[in-house]
A and B are shown apart, each in its own frame.
Chain A
Amino acid sequence: MIELEAQILAKNDALAAKNRGWFLGREILALNLVSSPGAGKTTLLERTIRDLKNKIPISVIEGDQATSRDGERIRAAGAAAVQINTGAGCHLEADMVEKGLAELKPPFGSMVMIENVGNLVCPALFDLGESAKVVILSVTEGDDKPLKYPHMFKAAEIMIVNKVDLLPHVDFDVGAAIGNAMKVNPAILALRVSARTGEGMDDWYDWLDHRMLQSRL
């Protein structure tokens, strides 16, 4: 019998640590955006890019199982984007991000948004080297989702409740959703926004500002 005591995700974790150092040295804020499919990650990014692109350069790594549609939307909004198709893969891994960065070459002091594959399970386990995970939950989903997918809400620094313009038409209880997220992660920050109408987006930009300052050496 040979003792191994090896961490199964060691390879990914080591590459993620390398990415993290790469970001730190360049004073780049890197965010890993995660959600179910259809929660509005791309729409949130499009609006963020349109509103902030004159203040700060934003580059985007787009993960999707197939198609380059999201990458095209992001470029149309005015940011540099590289699309990574994961094929059968249900999440991005650190080596894919490393390759994406080599292609994107984000400038010093900029922001890198990594749009993960729409999936609340697998991306929680794979560190990409990001500064923070941002989880997006839309009001057309269930407000109990943080309890159903606790790993993701535990790993995230901030939760964005998106599509709040639809609240009059759905049974979603924002207070309950935030309460459920805080059961899993008492430190999680929650924002209410509508990426479509722009409601609440200023709070998101304030948070980005604050995190950008923290990434300065």
Chain B
Amino acid sequence: MHELGITRNIVSIVEEAAKGRRVTRVTLDVGRLSGVTPEAILFCFDIVARGTLLDGAKLDINSIEGRGRCRSCGEAFETRTLFEACGCGSRSIERLAGEELKIRNMEIEEAA
């Protein structure tokens, strides 16, 4: 359950950036090969956000598909696991995407 610690990181980074303003929405990029489960972050988020500037904010998670490029033949393809081999047989794959663990943006409450 490292997602609890990760969610605490998310809330603390966003709170710092919000500089006292209320946050209404946060959007994350989470790669499918990042080792982090979006459902678990969603589960933790409301609890961790309680009593902070993010209390009641909506959390959107973009799930990023894994992609790699074969170092041997140069072919780029979708990778569903960390250990997929290329069609040419090579297992030396450069990761292009899928390991993201990033806060993309936030929306803050407009001053009335």
Interface residues of A (CB under 8 A from B): 1-12, 88-91, 93, 121-122, 124-126, 147, 150-151, 154, 182-184, 186
For this complex, 20 residue pairs linking A to B, each with C-beta atoms less than 8 Å apart, are: A2-B17, A3-B105, A4-B14, A4-B104, A5-B102, A5-B105, A6-B103, A7-B102, A8-B6, A8-B101, A8-B103, A9-B6, A11-B12, A12-B9, A88-B4, A90-B1, A91-B2, A91-B5, A125-B6, A186-B91
**Given A90-B1, A151-B35: A2 and B104 interface contact (C-beta under 8 Å):** no
Task: Judge whether B92 is part of the interface by a CB distance below 8 angstroms.
Answer: yes
List residues of chain A with CB within 8 A of the CB of B1. Answer: 90, 122
A1→B81 CA distance, assembly (Å)? 33
Interface residues of B in 1-34 (CB under 8 A from A): 1-2, 4-6, 9-10, 12-14, 17, 28
Contact in complex: B91, A183 (CB < 8 Å): yes
B85-106 CB mask vs A (1 if < 8 Å, else 0) is 1000001100000000111111
Query: Are A2 and B105 also in contact (CB < 8 A) when A8-B6, A11-B9, A90-B1 are?
Result: yes
Shortest Cβ distance from B2 into A: residue: A122
Task: Please pick, from A6, A125, A150, A182, the residue contacting B2 in the complex, using a CB distance under 8 A.
Answer: A125
Can you list, as one digit per residue, whether each of B63-82 has a CB less than 8 Å from chain A (1) or not (0)?
00000000000000000011
In the complex formed, the residue of A with least CB distance to B16 is A6
Residue pair B17, A4 in contact (C-beta under 8 Å):
yes
Interface of A is mostly: mixed
Instruction: State A124–B35 Cα separation when bound (angstroms).
Output: 9
8 Å CB contact of A7 from B5, B83, B101, B107: B101
Closest A residue to B21 using CB positions = A2
**Chain B interface (Cβ within 8 Å of chain A)?**
1-2, 4-6, 9-10, 12-14, 17, 28, 35-36, 81-83, 85, 91-92, 101-108
Q: Shortest CB–CB separation between residue B18 and chain A, in angstroms?
A: 8
Name the prevailing secondary structure of the B interface residues: mixed
In the complex formed, the residue of B with least CB distance to A187 is B92
Question: Please, how many angstroms separate the alpha-carbon atoms of A98 and B65 in the complex?
Answer: 35
Neighbouring A residues of B104 by C-beta, 8 Å? 3-5
Does B17 contact A6, Cβ atoms closer than 8 Å? yes
In Å, the complex CA distance between A62 and B32 comes to 31
Q: How many A-B residue pairs have CB under 8 A?
A: 77
CB neighbours of A11 from chain B (8 A): 9, 12-13
The answer to whether A147 and B2 have CB atoms under 8 Å apart is: no
Q: How far is the CA of A5 from the CA of B103 in the complex (A)?
A: 6
A93 touches B105 (CB 8 A): no
Q: What residue in chain A is nearest B23 (Cβ atoms)?
A: A2
Determine how close the nearest CB of chain A comes to the CB of B7; give it in whole angstroms: 9
Residue of A nearest to B81 (CB): A150
- The residue of chain B having its C-beta at the shortest distance from the C-beta of A180 within the complex is B83
> What are the residues of chain A within 8 A of B2 when measuring CB–CB?
90-91, 121-122, 125-126
How far is A182 from B90 in the complex, measured between Cα atoms in Å? 12
Shortest beta-carbon distance, A80 to chain B, in Å? 28
Measured CA separation A154–B34 after assembly (Å): 12
